Amino acid sequence: MPSTDLSGGLAVAHFRMSFLSDQHSLLFPREWLREQLGKTYIAEQGIGHLNGEAVYVFELAEALELPGLSLENMRHFMMDGRLVLFRLLAFASQIGTWAREHRFCGSCGQAMQQAVGHRMMQCQPCRVQQYPRLSPCMIVVVTRGDEILLGRSPRFISGMYSALAGYAEPNETIEHCVEREVREEVSLEIENIRYITSQNWPFPHSMMFGFHAQYKSGEIIPQPDEIEDAQWFNIHDLPPLPAKNTIARYLIDLYLAQRLGHVEPVLPG
């Protein structure tokens, strides 16, 4: 929660899903970091505790490098396996992004004010209130026996394929989203849609709902500008896959384990 206490605790400095780091740490004494930043931050928010010590995030006005400090992308910390730290940074990034994007009222353009006692921005003139938001989206592994449907977005690293994903639209259930996105992205019809698990995905504020579905009919026709390539891959001959600790990789590994009789993986919580 936001805090009026200006002393004590640890802090991170965030800008567009990156954090100031000295290559050894990105958690610094809060007062020291505030002094280094001067007037370059636009918001300060409490984000919880780590090992019993309060932690805060300073949202930077612009990309900033200080002597001995440089910006490190948050994905780095997801990849290196420090999950406790990554979850803290994920929350910091989402709250920092929210604070940046709600400094002014979207209705009348006036400056928003931080509410006292809970995390909410409010506009005094027109009484608009803004809370941190999540965008619901689905991700689905579509299978056909020993084959898994995987696709490539133009944004992916070279060679990597993943499960299909997409955002839910207004007045749409998440199950309808699964059907619609598969139909739009690869022109296939699916059936036996089954919810598996979810994962908060802070790039920047998604809630991923993971599904498994079975192929029903159709031929793959990738959606222009959205899907660079999509193919059926045999479970014994898969392309490069998303990183461990992602829900996409978990859904793929889960189906492999079930199909091959292996121990089922665990999605890091």
Each residue's pLDDT, cut to its tens digit, for the chain (269 residues) gives 444 455 689 999 999 999 999 978 899 999 999 999 999 999 999 999 999 999 999 999 999 888 999 999 988 887 777 788 889 999 999 999 999 999 999 999 999 999 988 899 999 999 999 999 999 999 999 999 999 999 999 999 999 999 999 999 999 999 999 999 999 999 999 999 999 999 999 989 999 999 999 999 999 999 999 999 999 999 999 999 999 889 999 999 999 999 999 999 998 76
Is 185 labeled as ligand-binding? yes
Looking at 3.90.79.10, 3.40.50.300, 3.40.390.30, 2.20.28.120, the CATH number of the domain 135-260 comes to 3.90.79.10
The answer to whether the CB of 205 falls within 8 A of the CB of 129 is no
Is 206 labeled as ligand-binding? yes
Is 2 labeled as ligand-binding? no
Is 204 labeled as ligand-binding? yes
Is 126 labeled as ligand-binding? yes
Is 202 labeled as ligand-binding? yes
- DSSP H or E stretch at residue 98: helix 83-101
The answer to whether the CB of 253 falls within 8 A of the CB of 210 is no
Is 75 labeled as ligand-binding? yes
Q: Where are the domains of the chain?
A: 10-101, 135-260
DSSP state of 227: -
The answer to whether the CB of 40 falls within 8 A of the CB of 25 is no
Is 242 labeled as ligand-binding? no
- DSSP H or E stretch at residue 231: strand 229-234
- Compute the distance between CA of residue 86 and CA of residue 82 in angstroms, rounded to an integer: 6
